[in-house]
């Protein structure tokens, strides 16, 4: 086999492996951003790509975790789609703004209207506002994607403990402690302040050196010119006027 053929074969193999690894990741239903501040409010987006070549995505069902219920859930309208939020009673009531919540949204279903389905090679995004979020941990949103041919893809696999990706991973929102976020911001602000202070000091020293050099240059130029200041002769006073000679 010639060198050119071996190179072409290696390139084709690499391209095939790249597509094999990249395509499943693209096809996943994901939540964006993938992190949020624990205990706060967040707007998350469920991104749904079409992973087939001959069917449209007509329905998306997202299940909110029952072990981490959220008191407030609102859905942003998507043109051509109908959203239905289903509430369920909580085994353990939660509190939000000093109010006891006994039921919370457990499932949201989006259904495409005429002409709004997600076609092959396209994707759609569905926005949801959530809060207050749990104080720690993560939220696993198990999702079901239904196609026009009746196929249902269940994105329900929870994260693995060894870090490997499951076959049909569920969207996961990781919760970051607010204290950690603040701690990251404070050192950055202090570093910026220190940089500004150092910059001001350097500029001050540089200005002083420039002024001294300018003075030295001026003195040298003056010395070389040989010019001296002209001193005016004092004016004669009446007492110093010449006395005329006495006549004989």
pLDDT in tens, 167-226: 999 999 999 998 755 555 455 555 545 444 444 444 455 566 766 676 676 666 666 666
The pLDDT-based confidence of 37 (bands split at 50, 70, 90) is: very high
- Mean of pLDDT values over 118-136: 96
Using H for helix, E for strand and C for coil, what is the string for the chain?
CCHHHHHHHHHHHHHHHHHHHHHHHHHCCEEECCEEECCCCEEEEEEEECCCCCCCEEEEEEECCCCCCCCEEEECCCCCEEEEEEEEEEEEEEEECCEEEEEEEEEEEEEECCCCCECCCCEEEEEEEEECCCCCCEEECEEEEEECCCCEEEECECCCCCCCCCCCECCEEEEECHHHHHHHHHHHHHHHHHHHHHHHHHHHHHHHHHHHHHHHHHHHHHHHHCCCCCCCCCCCCHHHCCCCCCCC
| Average pLDDT of the residues of the chain | 78
pLDDT in tens, 44-61: 999 999 999 999 999 999
- Mean of pLDDT values over 214-243: 56
pLDDT the model gives residue 245: 47
- Residue 107 has, within 13 A of its CA and on its CB side, a CA count of 10
pLDDT in tens, 78-120: 999 999 999 999 988 888 878 889 999 999 999 999 999 999 9
Give the predicted TM-score (pTM) of the model. 0.63
With a cut of 50, say whether residue 247 has pLDDT above it: no
pLDDT the model gives residue 99: 85
pLDDT the model gives residue 227: 53
Q: Which residues on adjacent β-strands are paired with residue 49?
A: 123
Residues 6+ apart with CB under 8 A from 153: 51, 144, 145, 147, 168
User: For residue 173, which of 127, 126, 124, 133 has the smallest C-alpha distance?
Assistant: 133
The pLDDT-based confidence of 130 (bands split at 50, 70, 90) is: very high
pLDDT the model gives residue 35: 97
The CATH code that applies to domain 24-176 is 2.60.40.2230
Cβ burial of 237 (10 Å; 0-12, 13-18, 19+) is exposed
- Mean of pLDDT values over 64-78: 95
Residues 6+ apart with CB under 8 A from 71: 94, 96, 101, 104, 131, 132
Q: Which residues on adjacent β-strands are paired with residue 30?
A: 47
pLDDT the model gives residue 97: 78
The pair of three-digit structure tokens given for residue 184, joined into one six-digit string? 């990251």
pLDDT the model gives residue 17: 41
Domain boundary assignment for the chain:
24-176, 177-222
Whether residue 58 contacts residue 147, with contact meaning beta carbons closer than 8 Å, is answered with yes
């Amino acid at each position: 086999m010639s060198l050119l053929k071996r190179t072409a074969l290696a390139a084709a193999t690499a391209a095939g492996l790249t597509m094999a690894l990249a395509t499943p990741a693209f096809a996943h239903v994901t939540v964006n951003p993938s992190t949020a501040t624990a205990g706060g409010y967040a707007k998350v987006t469920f991104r749904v790509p079409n992973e087939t070549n001959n069917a449209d995505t007509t329905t998306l069902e997202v299940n909110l975790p029952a072990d981490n219920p959220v008191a407030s859930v609102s859905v942003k309208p998507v043109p051509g789609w109908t959203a239905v939020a289903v509430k369920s009673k909580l085994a353990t009531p939660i509190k939000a703004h000093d109010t006891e919540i006994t039921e919370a949204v457990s499932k949201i279903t989006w259904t495409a209207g005429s002409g709004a389905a997600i076609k092959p090679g396209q994707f759609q995004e569905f926005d949801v506002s959530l809060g207050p979020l749990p104080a720690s941990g993560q939220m696993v949103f198990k999702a079901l994607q239904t196609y026009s041919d009746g196929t249902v893809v269940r994105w329900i696999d929870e994260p693995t403990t060894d870090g490997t990706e499951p076959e049909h991973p569920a969207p996961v929102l990781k919760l970051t402690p607010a204290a950690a976020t603040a701690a990251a911001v404070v050192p950055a602000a202090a570093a910026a302040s220190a940089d500004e202070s150092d910059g001001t000091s350097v500029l001050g020293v540089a200005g002083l050196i420039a002024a001294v050099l300018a003075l030295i240059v001026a003195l040298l130029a003056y010395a070389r010119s040989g010019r001296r200041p002209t001193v005016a002769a004092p004016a004669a006073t009446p007492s110093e006027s010449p006395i005329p000679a006495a006549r004989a």
